[in-house]
């Protein structure tokens, strides 16, 4: 297959590009690197079936020749990123999604939207099935991401119903693994970075809020299965094994062997109290379920971070960096 991956230079996108190339696909990776990084795909650039295009998908674009699928992953995806890039986040969720949909329509290609568990907001239903419509604050600080993805879902389904585009939607829950940015503001990368630097782990609130952590290799298997399927979704992709943020912090300290304490700070506005997917649809429609235990996934993640985070985070250089807000 020939597949376009928007946001292919990001954390998830680069892993998806690798997985598609491994099975023999041709991949066009589109990214403006506002939150991604060229080094994420540097090892792929010698592959004759890989093409890297530095572009912003909010501007009109095309890819020549026959095309089988478009996987639309482009978007800032962590609180510090969409806090810093609010208009860009709304733009890529709206104009960027429509441009990617038009590309799929022109080539009669499968279109897969990487949506998010943030579509459920601070859920009043637990765990979250796809039938749940969510509890989202449309004017809160997280709304630029939440509502951009909800609009992207609505737009995708409108293209499916009105124009016959082969659309599939996945809602991605917390994912972690190698290539996360140390300062991306996500809870796993923040805890690992702090533990390796010998600094207190930052917990917002009392740490009783829950998340469901899915290792990146598992998540990418689900994305590939959705690309290959004909299902419209939405389909939750995430690990239904729920744990508190406090439990995650203690596990990171155990794996890293760090003796540091835990530092509690005020809970951010609209931070979800509980987040856990129902994955019945993924099991039945995609034959997918996560298999990597969190202990194993965290060990891989810590090993990857160790060489990249310890030296620059020692001493004064750590103090000079701005600590991100949110988990």
Q: What are phi and psi for residue 9, nearest 5 degrees?
A: -95, 5
Query: Six-digit token pair at 241?
Result: 């094994």
Q: Are 219 and 183 in contact (CB under 8 A)?
A: no
**Quick one: CA torsion of 113, 222, 278, 137, rounded to 10 degrees?**
-30
3-class DSSP assignment, residue 250: helix
Q: Is 145 a catalytic site residue?
A: yes
- The token duo for 284 is 């039945």
Quick check: 194 and 254 in contact, CB under 8 A?
A: no
Q: Which of 145, 159, 176, 215 is catalytic?
A: 145
Cα distance between residue 31 and residue 8, in whole Å: 6
Helix axes 294-309, 245-256, angle to 10 degrees: 60
Residues in a beta bridge with 236: 171
Q: Any idea which residues carry the catalytic annotation? A: 145
């Amino acid at each position: 297959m020939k597949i376009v991956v928007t946001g292919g230079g990001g954390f998830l996108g680069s892993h998806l590009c690798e997985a598609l190339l491994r099975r023999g696909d041709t991949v066009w990776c589109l990214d403006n690197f506002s939150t991604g990084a060229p080094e994420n795909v540097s090892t792929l650039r010698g592959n004759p079936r890989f093409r890297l295009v530095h572009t912003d998908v909010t501007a009109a674009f095309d890819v020549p020749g026959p095309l089988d699928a478009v996987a639309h992953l482009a978007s800032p995806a962590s609180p510090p990123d969409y806090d810093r890039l609010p208009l860009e986040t709304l733009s890529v969720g709206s104009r960027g999604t429509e441009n990617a949909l038009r590309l799929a329509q022109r080539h009669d290609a499968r279109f897969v939207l990487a949506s998010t568990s943030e579509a459920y907001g601070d859920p009043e239903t637990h765990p979250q099935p796809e039938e749940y419509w969510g509890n989202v604050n449309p004017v809160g600080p997280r709304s630029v991401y939440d509502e951009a993805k909800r609009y992207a879902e609505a737009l995708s389904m409108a293209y499916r119903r009105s124009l016959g585009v082969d659309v599939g939607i996945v809602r991605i829950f917390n994912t972690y693994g190698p290539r996360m940015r140390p300062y991306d503001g996500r809870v796993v990368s923040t805890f690992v970075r702090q533990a390796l630097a010998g600094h207190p782990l930052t917990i917002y609130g009392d740490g009783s809020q829950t998340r469901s952590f899915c290792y990146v290799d598992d998540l990418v298997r689900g994305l590939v299965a959705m690309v290959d399927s004909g299902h419209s979704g939405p389909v939750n992709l995430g690990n239904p094994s729920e744990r508190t943020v406090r439990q995650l912090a203690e596990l990171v300290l155990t794996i890293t062997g760090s003796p540091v304490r835990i530092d509690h700070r005020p809970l951010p506005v609209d931070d979800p109290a509980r987040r856990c997917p129902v994955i019945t649809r993924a099991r039945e429609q995609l034959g997918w379920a996560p298999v990597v235990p969190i202990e194993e996934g965290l060990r891989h993640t810590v090993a990857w971070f160790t060489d990249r985070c310890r030296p620059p985070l020692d001493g004064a250089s750590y103090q000079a960096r701005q600590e991100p807000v949110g988990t």
